[in-house]
Amino acid sequence: MNIVALSKRLISPRFSNPVSLHGINDALAETVVSGRKPILGFYGRSFHHLRKVGNYVAPRVFFVSSRFRNLSTNSSSSSSKQPAFLRWYLRKLESNPFMTKSITTSLIYMAADLTSQMITMQPSGSYDLIRTARMASFGLVFLGPCQHVWFSYLSRILPNRDVLTTFKKIMMGQALFGPFSNTVFYSYNAALQGETSEEILARLKRDLVPTLRNGLLYWPLCDFVTFKYVPVHLQPLMNSSCAYIWTIYLTYMANQTKADS
């Protein structure tokens, strides 16, 4: 094709619109970056045919592909700057979220109970490791799995992160998840200590309402930060981290003397 014929084709209405050329370049850039097979181009012309037209496509493709390479490089470099333990934990969350969250909650409950015992221990006392095992097993068997299901459920029915939606999640937690989890916690701990059903009911009457009332002073702020700013797959970890302080109080309450039935 001679120069005159090529010029006529380049200034034809089909190729004179810069927007169209940008669209063609963007589509070709996406094809190059994603590695997909070339598709038929815009306006019924294949990319193979467009390559014959001129050099309008190639420079923009090189620019876009370079930009994507830079983004990939920056992403990998920022990931490499994370601590090794954090990278390992995030990989475990992705590969086995259920078990990872359960074990994490169990460890946090174990640490919280040891801290609670250390605060209230008499000078001549010693750690009650059976009590600590009860707390750790509650986090592993019940609370960890329940948190995984609860936060995933909330993210499905209320996916937005605006303030109104966040307050809806907080109210649902205070009205549903909090009373349920605390009831199971007191009942589970009392049953493992050998208390009868009458004694468990008496303990719930004595301890449950004060626990829920005190929870209203602590959990709404924690839940707001969790629901508003923390990704869904890290929300159980954030919740359990907040629960460390709360569990120090909770384990103290759960291991008080039996209530009068």
Shared-domain flag, residues 235 and 206: yes
Q: DSSP characters for 176-237?
A: IIHHHHHHHHHHHHHHHTT--HHHHHHHHHHHHHHHHHHHHHHHHHHHHHHHHHS-GGGHHH
Structure confidence at residue 226 (pLDDT): 92
Structure confidence at residue 45 (pLDDT): 47
Shared-domain flag, residues 62 and 166: no
Shared-domain flag, residues 75 and 142: no
Residue count of the chain, please give it: 261
Domain range for residue 140? 84-254
Shared-domain flag, residues 248 and 123: yes
- pTM for this prediction: 0.63
Shared-domain flag, residues 92 and 208: yes
Shared-domain flag, residues 102 and 198: yes
Where the chain has pLDDT below 50, the residues are 6-8, 10, 15-22, 24, 28-29, 32-33, 37-68, 71-73, 75
Classify residue 260: in a domain, yes or no: no
Shared-domain flag, residues 192 and 146: yes
Structure confidence at residue 190 (pLDDT): 92
Structure confidence at residue 254 (pLDDT): 75
Token reading at 105: 């909650």
Shared-domain flag, residues 90 and 29: no
Shared-domain flag, residues 143 and 32: no
Shared-domain flag, residues 48 and 64: yes
Classify residue 261: in a domain, yes or no: no
Domain end marker among 80, 100, 121: 80
Shared-domain flag, residues 235 and 219: yes
Shared-domain flag, residues 34 and 141: no
Structure confidence at residue 60 (pLDDT): 44
Q: Structurally, how many domains does the chain consist of?
A: 2
Q: DSSP characters for the chain?
A: --HHHHHHHHTSHHHH-HHHHHHHHHHHHHHHHHTPPP-B-GGG-BHHHHTTT-SSHHHHHHHHHHHHHHHHHHHHHHHHTS-HHHHHHHHHHHH-HHHHHHHHHHHHHHHHHHHHHHHH--TT----HHHHHHHHHHIIIIIHHHHHHHHHHHHHHS---SHHHHHHHHHHIIIIIHHHHHHHHHHHHHHHTT--HHHHHHHHHHHHHHHHHHHHHHHHHHHHHHHHHS-GGGHHHHHHHHHHHHHHHHHHHHTSPPPP-
CA distance 137 to 109: 9
Classify residue 259: in a domain, yes or no: no
Dump pLDDT digits (tens) for 9-43. 545 555 444 444 445 455 544 554 455 544 444 44
CA-based torsion, 90, 94, 95, 98: positive or negative: positive
